[in-house]
Amino acid sequence: MAHVISPTAARRRASVLAALRRGLDSRGFLEVTTPVLLKVDASSPAPMHPFGLGGNTYDLRNSIELLLRTALAASSRVYDIGPAIRFEDADKGARSAVEFTLLECFATDLDYDGLIDLMQELLRETFPHLPSKIDHISVVDWFVKTWGISFEENDRTVTREKLAKIAGIGVSTPLWKLIDQIISTHLEPSLEGLVVLINYPIETICLAKRHSSASHIAERFEVYLNGLEIGHGFMDAVDADDVLARMTENGQRFVDQGFVDLLRSGSLPASGGFGLGVERLLAASDGANVDVRHYLHAYQHS
């Protein structure tokens, strides 16, 4: 059964997309269009886009990130707005969709704080009715205050045992998964209004830069509106050896030697970027329980 977007939703969606483009264009960002259908190496143990077509020869992009970073050769600030396909979201219900619209942008001239400021400014300009207060919550500080767990400690065995007990899952579970489970179960449900989670433990992401003041912290953030995650961003790591070591620690399926080689070659300049899910942003701005599929384009299958 096809889902046909309502005229009101269509106009609002178009208005929001236009506002996001104006905000980025006015700040010197160059809009580029990256491919949706990607040819991949079928022999790769960890393709960037693992949901294959035609015997894993072609894949549909589930992110714009890597291709967009290569466009930084054309401009120091770039963005793309277009479709992303995530088959793993098929069973997530009204809060997600298999096909959705993603905005991603990258800049070589912004630091961590500047990237967060840009994201907040775009949201403010696009949705003037958003809550005036934006709460910032440091994830590593939250773990210390709530659970007495400091990721500065070198004994990962003890940290893993504590996390596993809180998460209620096996101690052999990877650290990143334990951390994510606790965040999704105990922190995310408490978020109200407009909230930015900052300063994640470095174990949660392989590609983000280590914080300039603390190597156990990743310069990563996520933004939530009315309890729904609407965006994710980070400063990109440029140390290929460190990225590879973190990929390996998180599990073989995360190891992407092709990406590491590209990083080592200098083809990916130091940069930072973030992505916003357009339909999630529209739904969250309407309230806590709005179906994101209300804003999907015409003929999107539900």
Q: With cut-offs at 50, 70 and 90, classify the pLDDT of residue 226.
A: confident
* Mean pLDDT value of segment 125-131: 89
Interval 199-210 mean pLDDT: 95
Q: 56 falls in which pLDDT band (50, 70, 90)?
A: low
Q: Using 50, 70 and 90 to split pLDDT, how confident is the model at 123?
A: very high
- Pick the most confident of 58-67, 86-95, 154-163, 230-239: 230-239
Give the DSSP H or E segment for 157.
Answer: helix 156-167
Q: Which two tokens stand for residue 63?
A: 């992110």
Higher pLDDT, 168 or 95: 168
Q: Please enumerate in sequence order all residues whose Cβ is within 8 A of that of 113, keeping only pairs 6 or more positions apart, or say none.
A: none
Q: Give the integer Cα–Cα distance in Å for 20 and 230.
A: 14
Tell me what pLDDT residue 46 has: 47
d(CA 62, CA 124): 27
**Cβ-contact 228, 240 below 8 angstroms:** no
Q: Measured between alpha carbons, how far is 269 from 263 in angstroms, rounded to an integer?
A: 8
**Least-confidence region, from 18-22, 107-111, 154-158:** 154-158
Lowest model confidence (mean pLDDT) among 21-30, 91-100, 140-149, 231-240: 91-100
Task: Please name the residue that has the structure tokens 């909230």.
Answer: 195
- Residue 52 is predicted with a pLDDT of 39
Determine how many CB atoms are found less than 10 A away from the CB of residue 53. Answer: 13
The total of other beta-carbon atoms located within 10 Å of residue 167's CB is 20
- Amino acid symbol at 43: S
- Total count of residues recorded for the chain: 302
Q: 249: burial class by Cβ within 10 Å (0-12, 13-18, 19+)?
A: middle
Question: Could you tell me whether strands 272-277 and 2-3 are parallel, antiparallel, or unpaired per DSSP bridges?
Answer: unpaired
What pLDDT, on a 0 to 100 scale, did the predictor assign at position 67?
Answer: 85
**Of the candidate ranges 89-98, 105-114, 224-233, the one whose mean pLDDT is the lowest:** 89-98
Is pLDDT of 301 > 50? Answer: no
Instruction: Give strand pairing partners of 105.
Output: 79, 274
Cα separations (Å) of 44 from 39, 50, 106, 205, 250?
12, 10, 27, 21, 18
